[in-house]
Amino acid sequence: MHNKKMIACIQIPHSIYQMMLAHLQVTYPQEGCGLLGGHIEQGSKVAHVTHLYVIENHLHSPTAYEMAPTQQLQAMLDLEAQGSDTIAAYHSHPQGQSVPSETDIAQAYYPELVHLIVSLQQRDQPIVRAFHILNKNVEEIALNITT
């Protein structure tokens, strides 16, 4: 069962993509996390990212993350105030692959969000993938880095 608003492709400007990767390198060897905001193209399922929010992983763990609730709420309210949407949550897997873990799947509390997972197994070559997680079903979606 698919939500008709489900995003089929997420587009991230290279500058925001680089800021996200830089943030995750700084938090290494712990998992880093944050939110991406922007807008969904009218009449399509393409999301355009325009904002990045670095959010503290208050678990400070190499194998788990939980966004600091106050920072997460502030980011979502900021996006709403600007007329933008919360499009994606991102986090790193410092020693794992860029696929959702069992914990990621169990804790996918916002099914409308895209989940970006960044593998830092090879720190100089991060692997970034995007997924929808809905009712424990995982579906990979297209990720485009734009100039």
What span, in angstroms and rounded, lies between the C-alpha atoms of 15 and 98? 21
- Taking the CA atoms of residue 144, residue 119, residue 96 and residue 109 in that order, the dihedral angle to the nearest 10 degrees is -50
80 is catalytic: no
User: How far is residue 69's CA from residue 77's CA, in Å, rounded to a whole number?
Assistant: 12
Helix (H) or strand (E) holding 4: none
Whether residue 112 contacts residue 127, with contact meaning beta carbons closer than 8 Å, is answered with no
Q: Which of 31, 41, 80, 112 is catalytic?
A: 31
| Dist. CA 30–CA 123, nearest whole Å | 13
Catalytically active residues are: 31
